Amino acid sequence: MGKCPEAPGSSATDAEPITGSLTFKQLIIYINYACFALTAILWLGLAIPHLRRYKAPDEQRPIFRIISTPVVFCTIALIAVHAYNAAEYLDPIASLYEAYALASLFLLYVHYVVPEAHNRDEFFHNLESTTKDGRPVPGGSLRWFRRVWRTVFGFVVIYTILIVVQEVLQATGHACATTKKGKRGQIILNVLQTISMVYALIAILRFQRRLKKFMEGRRAIMKLIAFKLFVAIQVLQRFIFSIVSTRVSGNSKITFRDISVGLPALLTSIESLIFTIGFYFTFHSKEYQDGTAAPGKKYSGLRALIHALSPGDLIRGVLIAFTAWKPSGAGNRDHVSTVHHTTAKPV
């Protein structure tokens, strides 16, 4: 089987105007441009202050990655509505970035609890853990922490593989939104991606709930809600439209591609704008405004941007998860200016 066949209504010329000379696709494009412009401006208002106050790199790199999620989605949505036939190859890229941002949220929580990587084994070893009948677990919570770490970064690897498989199947015509058999393949992939995403979300939620006393004053739960809600909406939206696209064919004014690509892209652009506004209340750089930078490397704006864009922390996270557990040697060596904990309390 070759590449996916084009669907009726793949171009704007296939649709009749909904009013005057304006087609539904053109309307979507105009709205997307407006949402993208506002989202990009608001994102710059969040990102630039973080880069100028780059005093806690281990924390601010995950934050930068998270606050960039809406603008990444909005950008891909804008490209998708311009080129409907490319949308099926672009959407998985946005989903993959979402997975990396979710892992970044977990890293942010880990840094909140134990800023220095070389202290984590000791911290979680001393963090009391009990069985269901109240007996203490030997080794404290270290085994639990390692399990959560492997769950999150195992999800990163699995999700990456699923996205690569999806791209290959679409490129070879085995998972297409324009054929009946291909639609089933897309649904199966979407279900697997959704399950893995939900499993990782649950692991991160439990980590935050158990260690919330060590994150006091960091608005950790609000960060989780803000980002998790965006992720949940995107996951649910993808799942719904993967089913809807198997049951609709469009009409003379609103084509199949308008429904399967244009509408999801429009919703994503609007949601991206809304959540970028919401991120001002949860991921603002104000908490780094007054503090003193941690000892070590100082970052100019350009160096801060280069560091924030580096995936090194995610790569190390995967290596730690799938090799001998040596976070002291493999963890991030950047110093951070966060709250230090000298003793571990029962949770």
Higher pLDDT, 336 or 49: 49
Q: Is 300's pLDDT higher than 90? A: no
Least confident of 35-49, 79-93, 107-121, 242-256: 242-256
Least confident of 71-80, 94-103, 232-241, 305-314: 232-241
Instruction: Output the pTM of the full model.
Output: 0.83
Q: What is the pLDDT of residue 330?
A: 39
CA distance readout (Å), 238 to 51, 132, 344: 33, 38, 41
Cα–Cα distance, 46 to 55 (Å, whole number): 15
- pLDDT digit string (tens) for 71-108? 999 999 999 998 888 888 888 899 899 999 999 999 99
Q: What is the pLDDT of residue 331?
A: 41
Q: Is 233's pLDDT higher than 80? A: yes
Contact 281, 46 (CB under 8 A): no
Average pLDDT over residues 117-136: 79
Q: What is the pLDDT of residue 340?
A: 39
Least confident of 97-111, 170-184, 195-209, 333-347: 333-347
CA distance readout (Å), 235 to 39, 59, 162, 196, 309: 20, 26, 14, 11, 24
Average pLDDT over residues 165-187: 73
Which residue segments constitute the domains of the chain, with CATH numbers given?
Answer: 18-330 (1.20.1070)
Least confident of 33-47, 83-97, 120-134: 120-134
- pLDDT digit string (tens) for 12-23? 456 778 888 898
Beta-carbon neighbour count of residue 118 at 10 Å?
12
Whole-number average pLDDT of the chain: 83
